Amino acid sequence: MKTIALTEESRKNLLNTLLKRSPNHYGSYEKTVQDIIAQVRKKGDQALFELTKQFDGCDINRQNIRVTAQEMDEAVAAVDPELYAVMERAAANIRIFHEKQKRNSWFESRPDGSILGQKVTPVARSGVYVPGGKAALSSSLLMNVIPARVAGVKKIVLTTPPGKDGKIPAVTLAAARIAGVDEIYKVGGAQAIAAMAFGTESVPKVDKITGPGNIFVALAKKQVFGYVGIDSIAGPSEVLVLADETANPRYVAADLLSQAEHDELASAILITTSEDLARQVEAEIDQFVEKLERKAILEKSLENYGYILLARSMDEAIEAANEIASEHLEILTRNPFEVMTKIENAGAIFLGEYSSEPLGDYYAGPNHILPTNGTARFFSPLSVDDFIKKSSIISYSRSALDAVHEDVEAFAKSEGLTAHANSIHVRFEN
Q: What is the pLDDT of residues 384-396, one digit of tens each?
A: 999 999 999 999 9
Q: Which residues contact 404 (CB under 8 A, 6 or more apart)?
A: none
Can you give the pLDDT at residue 25? 62
Can you give the pLDDT at residue 135? 61
Can you give the pLDDT at residue 133? 65
Considering just the CA atoms, what is the radius of gyration of the chain in Å? 25
Can you give the pLDDT at residue 259? 87
The whole-angstrom separation of Cα 213 and Cα 296 is: 21
The whole-angstrom separation of Cα 173 and Cα 153 is: 20
Can you give the pLDDT at residue 169? 93
Helical H segments across 327-371, by residue range:
336-340, 357-362
Can you give the pLDDT at residue 10? 86
The whole-angstrom separation of Cα 359 and Cα 346 is: 16
Query: At CB < 8 A and 24+ separation, what contacts does 89-96 make?
Result: 89/363, 90/139, 90/142, 90/362, 90/363, 91/142, 91/146, 91/178, 91/179, 93/363, 93/364, 93/365, 94/142, 94/143, 94/146, 94/147, 94/365, 94/367, 95/146, 95/149, 95/150, 96/365
Which positions of the chain have pLDDT values less than 70? 22-26, 133-136
pTM given for the model: 0.91
Can you give the pLDDT at residue 82? 97
Active site positions, annotated: 327-328
Q: Please, is 272 exposed, middle or buried when counting C-beta atoms within 10 Å of its C-beta (0-12, 13-18, 19+)? A: buried
Can you give the pLDDT at residue 24? 63
Can you give the pLDDT at residue 23? 65
